[in-house]
Amino acid sequence: AAPAATPTATPAATPYTPGTTPSAIPARQQNVDENLVRMKQALAEQGITDPNVVNATLANVMKETGGRNVSENLNYANSSNDRLRQVFGSRASRFSDAQLDEIKKDPQKLGEMMYGSDTEMGRKMGNTEAGEGYKFRGRGFVQLTGKKNYADASQALFGDDRLVQNPDLLNDREISAKASAWYMKSGQQDMAKRMG
C-alpha cells in the first residue's frame, strides 16, 4: 500500500487591507481540511448550524471546487467547438466554428460569451457593461458569479462595494468562506423548496 499523502503546509491568510488585493494561493497548495473548517466557521457566523445543511454545503463546495478557493478557469483553448456548444448551449451555438476558435483562445472573450451583458444569463447576473462577464466570473468555494452576487455579498458582509471594485478579494480564503456562507444562507429557502 502506498503511504498516505502528507498535507502541504498552507500559508496563513493575510488580513484584508483596503486598497489591496490578496494573492491567490494556488489550489494545489491549499489544505482542503483547513478550508472546510473555514467554511464551517463562516456558516456558523451566518447562523447555519443544522448539520444537514452544513454537510450539504460542504458537499457542494467539494463538488464545485474540490474544497479549494479558486477562480473559474475559462481556458477552453483545447476544447472542441462541439463540446463548447454542448456545455454552454445557446450561448455558444450562436457562433460559427471560426468565431468559437477565436473566442476559446481568450478567457476574457469566453467570459463574455458565457456571462456577458449581451447574454440573457449575464443580464440576470447583473452584468450590464462590456467586460463584466469575465470580471465577475466564478470565484471562491462555491463560485460566486455575476456582478449582482458580488454587489449583494459585498453589501451584506462589509456594507460597501469592495467586492465589486476589486473582485479578486475573493482570492482571500477568509473572505471567500464568508461570501460562500452568505450565498448559501441567501439561497437557503429557495434551495430547500426546490429539494422538497
Evaluate if residue 196 carries a pLDDT over 90: no
Beta bridge partners of 139: 71, 144
pLDDT of 195: 56
From 28-32, 51-55, 92-96, 186-190, the region with the lowest mean pLDDT: 186-190
Mean pLDDT calculated for residue range 108-127: 96
Q: Which three cell numbers stand for residue 94?
A: 450562436
pLDDT band at 13 (very low <50, low <70, confident <90, very high): very low
pLDDT band of 136, cuts 50, 70, 90: very high
Q: Looking at per-residue confidence, does 5 or 88 come out higher?
A: 88
Closest CA to 71 of 168, 152, 164: 168
**pTM metric for this prediction:** 0.83
- CA atoms of 112 and 125, how far apart (whole Å): 12
DSSP SS3 for 6: coil
Radius of gyration of the chain (CA): 18
pLDDT at 117: 95
pLDDT of residue 29: 86
- Who contacts 68 (Cβ-Cβ below 8 Å, separation ≥6)? 27, 30, 32, 35, 141
Neighbours of 51 (CB within 10 A): 7
Element at 71 (helix H, strand E): strand 70-71
At residue 32 the predicted structure's pLDDT band, cuts being 50, 70 and 90, is: very high
pLDDT of residue 11: 36
User: What average pLDDT does range 5-19 have in this prediction?
Assistant: 40
Higher model confidence: residue 11 or residue 58?
A: 58
